[in-house]
Structure formats: structure tokens, C-alpha cells
Structure 1
């Protein structure tokens, strides 16, 4: 049966692949954003205007919009909304709206870089050294996404002056950066672990990539999954240096670069629905070596 699936924050240029994947799977793609002036409002099947994240009635408006537009499934992608989606998962399910996201406890940990670092250390997962003081040269906000607010300052004196209340400092990891597209079943079992090396980054977003098998990454992600409970798509950042893999951060959501993960395996949209229904999942062989190059496409309307 065809589902009405909401694509969150569709104004982002990287949302196009998700809309197409929904349509290719025979479902209805409902784009959403805070402004109708975006390409997704043209090529999605329908468009829903969402309130801004600082709206005092944000979730009341979102919930009403989901019901009014008969949304069957939401696959969250916007960091600032992840915790709210997770907290309302059961409430929304009672209204016929399913949300594919990990539990509140999981989202809370991995949306806070300090809690993430503590989690890694507690479970003996290799990672950078971290501190709530300006002890290390890499500084980043505890809560934030991409490269926003991240800087490197080797001078301890200058770093101490710049260091903010909401920052953490970390040691600098060396090696090659990988992004790992993961899909987990309803009971937290890995269905796909697809490492990809970035071929280009603009404003923190991948403009291309290549899928590469790495036994050590596969083993580490499996170890990570045993330490917590992921559900649905999850994006993991790590550095690889020889046989050593160090975790950087975990994003418990779908990500823009996952288009390559889809292409190297299969359309994940039907799997999303099966996860929500708590069905058993199987996987197909991963096409190692597949490359992706991204360009933006123009749409015109009157």
C-alpha cells in the first residue's frame, strides 16, 4: 500500500535524492520546509509549510500539520528537530504517524558531543581525547552540526581566550576521513554498513564520494551498535589511519550523502517501512568502488 512520506527540511539541495527514492518506491513524497520558495516544492508530489524551529507553538503546529496532511511516515533529517521527533514517537504513532528514529536516550547522547565522547570512552571505542576545558587544539560546540563553530588553535593562550561556555576541546585525529552510511533494523541489528570516502566537501556537505570496504570500520560499527540501540538510518564519522579507526561523531538520522549508500545497495525506502512494521530484513551485496558526483539542478516555475 502506498504511503505518504514526509521529507523534512526539503529546502536543502541534498534532499532531492530522498524525494526521488520515495517516488521510485511507489510512495508519495511530501516535501516540507519553512519557505515554499525551494526546488522541492516543485518536484515533490506535495509541499507542506512548516513553522520555524524557534516558534513557541512549534510542535503543536507540526503535529496538526502531519494529521491534516495524512502523513504516514516521517524520516527525520534536521538536527534541531531530532530529539523532539524521538520524544513524540509514541504520541504520533497513536495518531497514525510513524517516525523512524532511535530512542530518546540514544538521540540525547549523540546530539551532545561531550556525551558522545564519554560514551565512546565508557565502551572502549577509539576516539579523540576530549575535555570541557581548552586542553586540546580542536575546539567545537557541544551542540552543533557540520563544521559550524569548529576551529583549531594550537596556542593554549589564544585558545583559552576564544573558548566558549558551550565548547569542548579535542585532540586532533590524523588519517583519512570516512563517512559511514548505516541502516539498522527495529531491534538494532546492522542491515547495511557502507563506508564512503569523501571526494569533495563544500560548507561541510559532501559533493562526491566513493564506497570502500574496510574490515576495521565494519568491526567497529558492529561494536558500536552492540553498545546502544540504533533504529533506521544512522550516519557515522570516523578517521582511518592504517588499521586504526577512530570515531568522531554519530548522527542518528538520514544524511545528504546517503544517496551513495542507497545507490551502492538498494532503495532504502521500502526497508524503512519494513523497519517500522518490525519485519525481518535482508541485504543485497554492496557495490564496492561505486562513486558519486553531485551537481545542483535548476527548476523553473511561474
Structure 2
């Protein structure tokens, strides 16, 4: 071995390789442990790691991807692809980052409004009304889910229930989602998608045949009075929708009304056909 850590024309000690890759030996050991960059050779007796000079580019690439806060599993996916596919996987990851940052930016603006005492201004933008709804048979699907998975699950579960409604006498009202507990990045609900149907006996037969695989159920929702506000497709996004829920809660308190059940979102319009400013959803609370 030469003084500069070159074992032969092809192998480098971990120290020499770290210097070329502009990384620490500690980082290289971590990459090895995670399966991102393994040594070309490990001495059985000493445990010394040796790398090839042509591994420098991969080591630097791992370090650069880490600077994007890319999870290790995503790094492995990028490194496992070749050419344009690797670039496409990086682009997909960065698009996810930009969507997350955009959501966080909106949430920060919302929180600034709350912390600066401008909550009442936000709430005044919502028109609150009440409506009496009759008892109805509903078929349901429940799931414990965090906020980032919620929109996808809502669309998929309501689609399944609306298809199933054809076996249960047909739908008799707008589909809705009930939140039995908070859904956030720390709390997973559960949430319950619901579709009102006409035939209770057929609905119970459908649920029995489905079994517990998707936590399906049938129940009769009693007649209720709802306090609600109507929001647009753009306002359904988090955290804009939080202001709608809070506006209804504030109005209820001002009217001396008490919550009589879990809050819900009632989707009365064609979501795919609606534009950002089209009304699509009622944010509602059962009240007494």
C-alpha cells in the first residue's frame, strides 16, 4: 500500500476514498450499512474496507441526493435505475417535495392569521346555515389514515361505495365522510366514507358478503339538524378547510348550539368536473 492509501492500481483505503469523494469515513460506513454504497472489498482479518476509484461518482451522488433530504429508500430507487429513468425518479421526488412545501406555505399563512388575531376575519367569509336531514340508511367504509393519505382514500372509498350502492337499491343522497377523531399527520382518525342507499336489507346482504376486509358496515343514521357552510373545490384543500370547520364551530357557540355527533364533509357535486371555484362540499356538524 502506498502512503496515499492506494492499495493497488484499483483499490483505495477508506481514508483515501473518502478524500477523493469529499466525504467522511463515517458517512461511507453509514452508506455501506444502508446498502447504498458497499466497499469493493473487506479484509476478513482486519475488517478494513477498500473501494474502487470508479465508485467515487456514486458516493458523491449519494451525498448530493442526501442534501435534497431524500429518504434513503428513494435514493436506493434512483441509484437502482439507469439513464432517463433515474432522472424521472428524481423529478417525481422533487415534485412531491414542492407539493409538500406549497401545502406548508399555505398552512403557515393560515397559522399567521390565527396567531395575529385575524381568525374572525377568516371566519366571516363563510356563510353558516342549518338544514334538517331525515333518517337514512348508509353503507360505509372506515379506515385509520393520516392526513397525507386521506384525499386518495376518500376518492377511492367513495367510488367503491357508489358502485356498491347499485346493489342496494341505488343512492338516495350525497356521499359524505365522517371524522370520528382528528385526522392529521399525527392522528389517524378513523375516517368513515358513507353513501346513503334505498334498500336496507340489500345493503346488509352486501356488507355481509364483503366481510371485514375493508371495514364495511351498514347503519341507519337518525334524523338530524346540521349546521354547515358550503365551500369550493379550492377550499377543500388542507389547511383552508380547517377555517371552514372552525367557522361553523364558532357560529354554533354563538348560537348556543351543542355538537350532537362527529363532523362531516358532504360531497354533493361532481368532483372531477368541478373547477377550483365551484361549490362542491358542505362542512357540517350535527347540532342540538
TM-score w.r.t. length of structure 1 = 0.22
Q: Write 1 or 2 for the structure with the bigger share of strand.
A: 1
Q: Write 1 or 2 for the structure with the bigger share of helix.
A: 2
TM-score w.r.t. length of structure 2 = 0.23
Which one has a bigger Cα radius of gyration?
Answer: 2
